[in-house]
Amino acid sequence: MRGKLIVLPSTLRQRAIDLAHNDAHQGMVRTKQRLKAVYWWPAMDRMIEEAISGCHVCANSDRTTKRRAAPMEPTALPSEPWERLAVDIIGPDGSLGVQNRFAVVIIDYYSKWAEVELMSEVSAAHVVEMFRRLFYREGIPRYIVSDNGVQFISREFQNMLTEFRIQHVKTPLYHPMANGLCERFNRTLGGFFETAKATNKNIRLGLREMIGAYNATPQATTGKSPAELLHGRRMRTRVDVIGRHMEREKSDQTLRKQVLEKQNNQKTYADNRRAAKEVSFGSGDWVRIRKATAAKGESKYTTPVQ
């Protein structure tokens, strides 16, 4: 005995775990509580965890599933401005007004230059029209990165890509965060919308001011503003004082080095904060695949497959 607990011999431990767990297939915490109320043995927690982790019934009902964030993968800096664009759609948000329910966001990967248009409806035709206006003003990119939204997989959008000889890069279906550039900017944009609503600010006028300030502000990763990197000059704003602004120019090589250092720091911070872990699979491993959709009460994962 160990106090009031029975010290269970090694030959009976697995049997006790099976009895405590298999009748209702409770999780690790409840199974441990049930056993610890009666028994004790060395390394008891680890043995219970290993036994339940190998339970196929619990695996199929998602009880042992533990999702881990994948390590952050920084995006390589393109070779030049406007070579690679990211696009995303936010909405609908009826609180912004009927004409402002959707926001189409386009960002240049190199300079971080942002373009945003508010729309009442957002069809493939609306998105294509916005891109055409940008192409005539800024030029044609080599790549456009998007999710798998209906506007971006439509025939009209694909025809535009073919016409301008643009390569379409689609983010993984189950991992929209792969388009991280838009995800980060969307948080900034969402903050503006909340502030504008709270202060009764004109959404469209305020958005022009916000985008102008964003494109004129130096980025943490590059040390330069989007306007400088895309157009080769600083935007003169109301913040600037009268007089010539003297600044040592950064070479492209210096810029790439600075961006890489910032990305590595961000990756380390993000991976540690999310407890990210690289997962690898070998030939013959048993795995479960997350389903695209699952009915209520149905497992979110397939049964183990090899």
Position 220 pLDDT exceeds 90: no
Segment 85-140, tens digit of pLDDT: 999 999 899 889 999 999 999 999 999 999 999 999 999 999 999 999 999 999 99
What distance in Å separates the CA atoms of residue 95 and residue 180, rounded to the nearest whole number? 26
Using the Cα atoms of residue 148, residue 154, residue 157 and residue 159 in order, give the sign of their dihedral: positive
Closest CA to 206 of 106, 97, 129: 97
Q: What is the pTM of this model?
A: 0.61
What distance in Å separates the CA atoms of residue 216 and residue 210, rounded to the nearest whole number? 10
Which residues share a beta bridge with 119?
A: 102
CB 52 within 8 A of CB 27: yes
Q: What is the dihedral of CA 23, 26, 28, 29, to 10 degrees?
A: -120
Residue percentage of the chain with pLDDT more than 70 = 82
Position 58 pLDDT exceeds 70: no
Burial of 37 from C-beta contacts in 10 A (0-12 / 13-18 / 19+): exposed
User: Residue 132 has what pLDDT?
Assistant: 97
Position 1 pLDDT exceeds 90: no
CB 83 within 8 A of CB 141: yes
* Better-scored residue on pLDDT, 168 or 275: 168
136 in helix, strand or coil? helix
User: Residue 199 has what pLDDT?
Assistant: 87
Segment 149-202, tens digit of pLDDT: 999 999 999 999 999 999 999 987 655 554 677 888 888 898 889 888 888 889
Position 228 pLDDT exceeds 70: yes
CB 101 within 8 A of CB 93: yes
Position 241 pLDDT exceeds 60: no
Q: What is the largest CA-CA distance in the chain?
A: 86
User: Residue 178 has what pLDDT?
Assistant: 47
User: What token pair was written down for 302?
Assistant: 């397939």
User: Residue 242 has what pLDDT?
Assistant: 45
Indicate the pLDDT class of residue 246, thresholds 50, 70 and 90.
very low
Average pLDDT over residues 209-224: 87
Please give the backbone phi and psi of residue 151, each rounded to the nearest 5 degrees, phi first: -65, -35
* Better-scored residue on pLDDT, 65 or 159: 159
Average pLDDT over residues 39-58: 83
The radius of gyration of the chain from alpha carbons, rounded to an integer in Å, stands at 27
